[in-house]
Amino acid sequence: MNIRHQLLALAVVFAVPTSPLSSQTPEGASSGEIERLTYDVRWSFINLGTVTITQTTGTIDGKCHSIARMAVLSNPSIPFLDLDFVHETAFQSADLQIDRETITTKSRPRTFYVHDAVNGSILMVDSLDGRECRRNTVSSPPPCYDVNTLLLYARRTARGNARVSLPTVIDYGVNPTEIIMTGECERIDVPAFEGTVRSRHFTGIAHWVGSSFAGMSGRFEGWVSDDDAAVPLRASVKILLGSIVLELASYERAGWNTAALSGHSPSIVDNQGDQR
What are the tens digits of pLDDT across the range 158-207?
999 999 999 998 878 899 999 999 889 999 999 999 999 999 999 999 88
Give the mean pLDDT of 91-110: 89
Strand 269-270 to strand 173-188: parallel, antiparallel, or no bridges (unpaired)? parallel
Q: How confident is the model at residue 13 (pLDDT cuts 50, 70, 90)?
A: very low
Q: How confident is the model at residue 273 (pLDDT cuts 50, 70, 90)?
A: very low
Question: Is 275 within the bounds of a domain?
Answer: no
Per 3-state DSSP, the chain is made up of helix, strand and coil in percentages (nearest 5) of 10, 55, 35
Give the mean pLDDT of 153-158: 94
Burial 157-172 (b: 16+ CB within 10 A, else e): bbbeeeeeebebbbee
Do 225 and 16 form a contact (C-beta atoms < 8 A)? no
Look up the domain containing 19 and give its range: 3-270
For the chain, what is the mean pLDDT? Answer: 81
pLDDT of residue 274: 36
Do 183 and 161 form a contact (C-beta atoms < 8 A)? yes
Q: How confident is the model at residue 96 (pLDDT cuts 50, 70, 90)?
A: very high
pLDDT of residue 100: 95
Question: Is 211 within the bounds of a domain?
Answer: yes
pLDDT of residue 23: 33
Q: Over 70: is that where the pLDDT of 125 sits?
A: yes
Q: Over 90: is that where the pLDDT of 68 sits?
A: yes
Q: Over 60: is that where the pLDDT of 27 sits?
A: no
pTM of the model: 0.82
Question: Is 108 within the bounds of a domain?
Answer: yes
Do 48 and 41 form a contact (C-beta atoms < 8 A)? yes
Number of domains in the chain: 1
pLDDT of residue 240: 65
Higher per-residue pLDDT: 22 or 247: 247
pLDDT of residue 76: 86
pLDDT of residue 218: 81
Question: Is 276 within the bounds of a domain?
Answer: no
Q: Over 90: is that where the pLDDT of 113 sits?
A: yes
